[in-house]
Amino acid sequence: MIYHITTERGWQIAREMGEYRAYSLKNEGFIHCSTLEQIPKVVAAFYQNQPDLLVLAISLEQLQSPVKWEQPQHPNPENATLELERETFPHIYGAINLESVVFVKPLQEFINSQN
């Protein structure tokens, strides 16, 4: 299982289109994802004080697009932390088919359920 953080609007558009395509897919060629253990660090680095965020739990077995485990590509390299730079992250090279999304939860609810 891998995870992707998106907005409520982004998920609404995905449901209307029948697949999920993050902004990064067009601009960077892939969708940024995380492991369960990486989510708190990713939230701290990129998503502080942002409302209306959701976590998509994605089944690797059901995902139709290829996944590569790569070094992070930080949008603001000057803000990158060394801890995150040492890890590899799952990057999805294509759209996320909705059948591969096992569940969707509000970000804060998801984080609270992991504690």
Neighbours of 9 (CB within 10 A): 10
Tell me which residues of the chain have a pLDDT lower than 50.
none
Entry pTM: 0.88
pLDDT at 86: 73
Are the C-beta atoms of residues 72 and 26 closer than 8 Å to each other?
no
CA distances from 83 to 4, 42, 48, 72, 115 (A): 19, 11, 18, 11, 21
- Residue 51 and residue 57: Cα distance in Å, rounded? 19
Distance, C-alpha 110 to centroid of its chain: 13
CB-based burial label for 55 (10 Å; 0-12, 13-18, 19+): buried
pLDDT of residue 79: 52
pLDDT for residue 76: 55
Q: In this structure, which CATH number among 3.40.50.720, 3.20.170.20, 1.10.10.10, 3.30.300.210 belongs to the domain 2-114?
A: 3.20.170.20
**Confidence (pLDDT) at 81:** 53
Give the alpha-carbon dihedral of 60, 65, 68, 69, to 10 degrees. -30
pLDDT score, position 13: 97
